Amino acid sequence: MKIIRHKDFRVEENTYHRLDSIEDVEEFYGAIKRETLTHKLSSERPFCYWTLEVYDKENGIRGGGGLGVLAADTRRVAEQLQVPFVMITPFYPWESHQKMQNMEQTDYHVEKNYADFGFNLVDTVSIKTSTTAVELAVVEKQLGTTRFLCVTEPNFGELYSGESGSDHRLYQEVALGFGGYQALKLVGLKPAVIQLNEVATFFAAIARLDELVSSGMDFYEAVVYTRKHTLYTNHTLVQAAEAMFTFRQFEQYVFPNVKSSAVRRWLAEKFTDGRIKLSTPTIEIAELRSGVSKLHARVANYRDINGNRVKFKAITNGIHVDTWVLPEIVEYYEKNGILDKFSLPTEDYQEKVEKVSAEDIRYLKNLGRVKLNEILQDRTDQYGNPVHIPEDALLFDFKRRFVDYKRPWLPFTDYERLADILEKNDAYYILAGRVHLGDATMFGELMKLLKLIDGHPVLKKRVSYLPDYDEELGYGLSLGSNVAINTPIVGLEACGTSWMKDIANMGLLISTHDGGVADMPADNYLNIDGRDEAEEVAALYEQMDVAAQAWRNDFDLEYWVHKELAAYLPVISGARMMKDYLTYLF
């Protein structure tokens, strides 16, 4: 079978690239050397992806961070590649937001109705607790070869409402696992494979095991069968940090939903001192296990029930290119033979990347800046004021969830130096973040930063904080900012995907060597190196100078953009990720 080449493909305006015919799909599968795949996956036996979190605003489901972005992108890539795919996830009836006025933050909640986002009600299913039954609505939305299959009910709450070991969280996880499995049967589907996006989805595998055993399969055969068809994707580094549930909680929420006494016994054996971490039984029930970058798969420290270190297959996250990259840049990549119609890098993409000129980069980046400013029109800063970045000014950004290990304060360590760099380069700095609801420590850190900025005339003029960080802001900043700053403590970022959005949109990346960035050698981007935090801070400011210099000098700009694209386009490609998953699964 021949691999599709770019020259066979015409770029048309406003197309959301799909494979156009079944022959195209066959060619894709042929290209990944899996001719038998179509026999294993079908519309009745799809790839079933369970996740507690999806970040897909267009479809009414808002996640909390990278795990949800990955889930949404995985479905979009599956749709683009015409993979039969079902995403089983809750439809949350409530969603939390933040706004700021005069540095005072207010949290507010928005009610969501699935019908407003094109979901149809299928029917209801029910799950049990020890004292009652809960009816869940099953709603679905078809998108090409993929669909959302959601469970929901008015008291389901928000994403991550309740502490991670709380009754409510367990209820949500049980509802998604057992309720979601019933939903699948309701619409007449059988899973070809189950992907568990983190351990919160573990009960889906138990629902399947329970069904096999209850319908007469020998218990051990059922375990072997379930194991072979279940992939557990881990995004967390340390098992120690995981929340625990008690046996009493299981008696109340889990066991009433398990028909087979053998399955209940099997689960009960996984408790130690009356407590359980869901990763323990998840590792037992999933023979396939993946981590989300090379580094993460290597360092994730998980033990199985016998105390043996668990091995994870590295499948680095990718992004759905059409979603996160300026359409003109996608078109540019395709016209110039850098990406093919699947958003996979072409065979000779590295040679083609060398021809990307500074003039093209600047032109495309300017279009991105216009788009960013459009998005900023609907946003306000920490004072409640609108933000506009001059078209010709240099823009640095730091856009992340506000969590400790990402170190949003790092660039402010020597704030006079930061102010100097911004002033002498006529540069601006946007800090976009979201503090987890109830995280008082990080909220305190944020307030400290905002006060510092408020008290410094240069910083006050050049630094803006944008609350309620979401995918629209993530998109806009990837398009319109010149330099992105990524400073996780090395070893703590599982993968990260916002840096991928920055590189794909031809921005410069300043980063520590961590997560998916560390899939490639550190000389491919503006690396922050250092033996301790003080050295890292010094390196960060040096690289900010280098980046500012590069945006003034065509030769340097081309040098860094070529480096980044040549090294990372294969990593970034969501189609590459899907290809890796399919190859691992089948």
Residues that bind ligand PLP (CB under 6 A): 65-66, 69, 400, 469-471, 474, 496-498, 501
Tell me how far, at minimum, the Cβ of 461 lies from ligand PLP, in Å.
27
Q: CB-wise, 57 or 562, nearer to ligand PLP? A: 57
Q: CB-wise, 249 or 316, nearer to ligand PLP? A: 316
Tell me how far, at minimum, the Cβ of 307 lies from ligand PLP, in Å.
31
- Going by their DSSP bridges, the two strands 394-401 and 427-434 should be labelled as parallel
Contact 557, 505 (CB under 8 A): no
Residue nearest to ligand PLP (CB): 474
Go through 165-203 and write b for each residue having 16 or more CB atoms within 10 A of its CB, e for each that does not: eebebbbbbbbbbbbbbbbbeeeebebbbbbbbbbbbbb
Q: CB-wise, 91 or 469, nearer to ligand PLP? A: 469
Q: CB-wise, 95 or 423, nearer to ligand PLP? A: 95
Tell me how far, at minimum, the Cβ of 104 lies from ligand PLP, in Å.
23
Tell me how far, at minimum, the Cβ of 169 lies from ligand PLP, in Å.
21
The full DSSP string for 177-239 is IIIHHHHHHHTT---SEEEEESGGGTHHHHHHHHHHHHTT--HHHHHHHHHHTEEEEE--SBG
| Strand extents, DSSP E, 65-177 | 85-90, 94-101, 104-111, 120-128, 133-143, 146-152
Tell me how far, at minimum, the Cβ of 563 lies from ligand PLP, in Å.
20
> Strand 47-50's sheet: what is its strand order?
120-128, 133-143, 146-152, 85-90, 47-50, 193-197, 230-234, 288-291, 313-314
Contact 267, 254 (CB under 8 A): yes
580 Cβ contact partners less than 8 Å away, ≥ 6 residues apart: 315, 316
Separation of alpha carbons 365 and 563, rounded Å? 17
Torsion sign over Cα 116, 120, 126, 132: positive
Tell me how far, at minimum, the Cβ of 27 lies from ligand PLP, in Å.
30
Q: CB-wise, 184 or 572, nearer to ligand PLP? A: 572
Tell me how far, at minimum, the Cβ of 386 lies from ligand PLP, in Å.
21
3-state secondary structure of 510: strand
Q: CB-wise, 65 or 177, nearer to ligand PLP? A: 65
Tell me how far, at minimum, the Cβ of 507 lies from ligand PLP, in Å.
13
Q: CB-wise, 251 or 470, nearer to ligand PLP? A: 470
Q: CB-wise, 302 or 475, nearer to ligand PLP? A: 475
Separation of alpha carbons 461 and 245, rounded Å? 49
3-state secondary structure of 276: strand
Tell me how far, at minimum, the Cβ of 445 lies from ligand PLP, in Å.
17
Q: CB-wise, 208 or 399, nearer to ligand PLP? A: 399
**Cα-based angle 53, 372, 106 (whole degrees, multiple of 5):** 55
